[in-house]
Amino acid sequence: MPDDREPKKSRSIFLFIRIAVVSCGIIAGIYWISKEVGWDNLANTFRSINLGIFALVLGVFIIAQIIIGLRWWILLRSQSIFIRFWAAVRLYLLGWFYNNFMPGSVGGDLLRAWYVTKHTDKKFEAVLSVFVDRVIGLSSTLVIAVFFYLLFLRGKGLEITYSGTGGFVSFITQYKSVFFWGIVIIILVLCVLLLHKKGRSILLKACLYIHQASLRLIIKFRDAIVIYCKKPLSILVAFGLTVFLQMLTITAFWLLGRNIGIQAGVKYYYVFFTLTWVLGAVPVSIGGIVVVEGMLALMFIKFAGTAKDAASTLVLCQRAVWMLASLPGAVIHLIGAHLPGEPKNGLQGRKDFFVDSKSPVD
């Protein structure tokens, strides 16, 4: 019995930390907007947005998510796991909803893996397809960021950062009290945990969890290389598709930024958006909330000279697009559309799918 409780305790602690990060980030964001931006200025900037352009960005993003479902479908079929395209899309959108809205420890990737492995004998390959899908997404994001930084922004960012009175050093100086008390609070929490036996146990469990998770990640990565190196064309197609979709989505946000009044070139967007997307994938918050917004606003303000109200509006619009695009996943979950077959009595009678059957699921 104690062995069964240990994973639950670890998940509960991890969930508490994520919720705490989001809560503290939201409070800090409200304070920053109140002091540095002003709610009236933020509201005026929002009112200046062309709804047609916002709808265009939302439409591009939704289409991109559907095509990303195609990426996963390609990876599944490369391992002879047969599932129809729209079934893969529905599962992907369901996972996207869980990633953005649900605070639990079961993320969208785990949900996708569970639905596929539950109905296939190729459980190992199915789980790896989800892992490889995520790795391709993150690696392509990093490639875009590094490419555009090296090609266009290397050496320019520092000039912008340290020029005038709005540089990084002045930013640290201006908010030195916030940084100081933040560090003090972290040190105090660590001291309290170290002074108590239960606290030391919590820290030890956290370290063990990080260690075990890292080992599992390394093993999955090694296995993925062994299996998918036999299907290089699938990897190349998935990678190229991802780069195209991400650049298309970021270009749409650039159009929105121009409408808001941000004069920074699209090259800044390709670097800033991709870097924050990677940082948002680190599971320290829920769906990257406050991590993505805080870092993206900071980059635009300090490295591209963007007005604070415009940068705040842009990052909040991105979050709004993400959440609105997640709503189809909620509908899929509520009506059971991720399960094939027509219901006989409401949701009753809906049968599970079998991805390795000769007839692909609907």
Domain locations in the chain? 2-168+231-335
Output the CA–CA distances (angstroms, integers) from residue 238 to 117, 125, 209, 270, 286, in the order listed: 21, 17, 31, 19, 26
Q: Provide the CA 309 distance to its chain's centre, in angstroms.
A: 24
Between 161 and 134, where is the model more confident? Answer: 134
Count of Cβ atoms closer than 10 Å to residue 347 Cβ: 11
Which residues, other chains included, contact 194 with Cβ-Cβ below 8 Å and sequence gap of 6+?
200, 203
CA–CA separation, 156 and 148 (whole Å): 12
DSSP notation for 154-179: TTHHHHHHHSTT-SHHHHHHHTHHHH
Between 168 and 232, where is the model more confident? Answer: 232
Between 245 and 10, where is the model more confident? Answer: 245
| Average confidence (pLDDT) over 263-282 | 91
pTM (two decimals) = 0.76
Position 37 pLDDT exceeds 50: yes
Between 152 and 324, where is the model more confident? Answer: 324
Output the pLDDT for position 173: 60
| Average confidence (pLDDT) over 320-349 | 73
| Average confidence (pLDDT) over 306-319 | 95
> Which pLDDT band holds residue 171 (cuts at 50, 70, 90)?
low
**Tens digit of each residue's pLDDT (9 = 90 or more) over 58-79:** 999 999 999 999 999 998 888 8
261: which 2 tokens?
């009044």
Output the pLDDT for position 20: 86
